[in-house]
Amino acid sequence: GLLERRRCLYLHTGRACCQMVEVLLATLILVCSSVSCGSTGGYTGLPTLGGIYYYQYGGAYSGFSGADGERAQELDQRFYLLKLPIARAAMAVGGCLLVFPCVLILVGVLQVPWHFPAWLLVECTLYIVIAVGTVPALYYFFHSLLSVYNSSVCKEREQLYQSKGYQGFWCSLHGAEIAAGLLGCTATMAYLLSAGLAVRDYRTVHEQKQKPLQL
């Protein structure tokens, strides 16, 4: 009825639109983090690839055999274990950033800010804290990744694959990791914008509360 329509009106506000953008950004961060965790590449054994090997690599490379194959598998596993804690931490942060705006959207739909205007100030404070905390989180993310890529494991792995003619095993940031960082920066700006909108809405609700008869 009328109450349901009034609740749905929140989804058309600037704050709700910004929160839905935050949900999208957090989802993309989560996806990019999972790609970073899963994109180990590496040796899987050319006989198991069959025709796919020829389509992907054109049959131009001889592949691994014997001790080289075992060494490649060992380096892949060690490289994967080095990246795993970083990727898991990034996925955990992305999951938290996904839940937070979803909760705020639900709070807005339930009209909690109208009944308790002080909630908007709490929301503003949380947004500022998250925006400020995102900066050192991004620094830690890239610093840890670069430490892995500068490790002896990654360097030896890169040289081993290059010696067999394989490309794509370089010790450098790949697209998903760079995208996660850019999305994190965009999310930071969205959080600051949401903080400003929360303060604006607090003033609006406070003014309307002073004139209940006009509502």
Q: What is the pLDDT of residue 57?
A: 38
Cβ pair 72, 42 in contact under 8 A = yes
Q: The pTM is what? A: 0.80
Q: What is the pLDDT of residue 7?
A: 60
Cβ pair 86, 56 in contact under 8 A = no
Q: Which of 74, 83, 75 is nearest to 38 (CA)?
A: 83
Distance CA 21, CA 97 (A): 12
Query: What tokens were used for 183?
Result: 């999305």
DSSP for 26-70, written as a single string: HHHHHHHHHHHHH-------HHHHTHHHHHHHTT------THHHH
> Which amino acid is located at 161 in the chain?
Y
Distance CA 44, CA 48 (A): 7
In terms of Cβ atoms closer than 10 Å to its own Cβ (0-12, 13-18, 19+), residue 15 is: buried
Cβ neighbours for 95, distance < 8 A, ≥ 6 positions apart: 26, 30
Helix (H) or strand (E) holding 14: helix 14-38
- Show the low-confidence residues of the chain (pLDDT under 50): 1-3, 40-62, 215
Q: What is the pLDDT of residue 2?
A: 45
Query: What tokens were used for 142?
Result: 């890239």
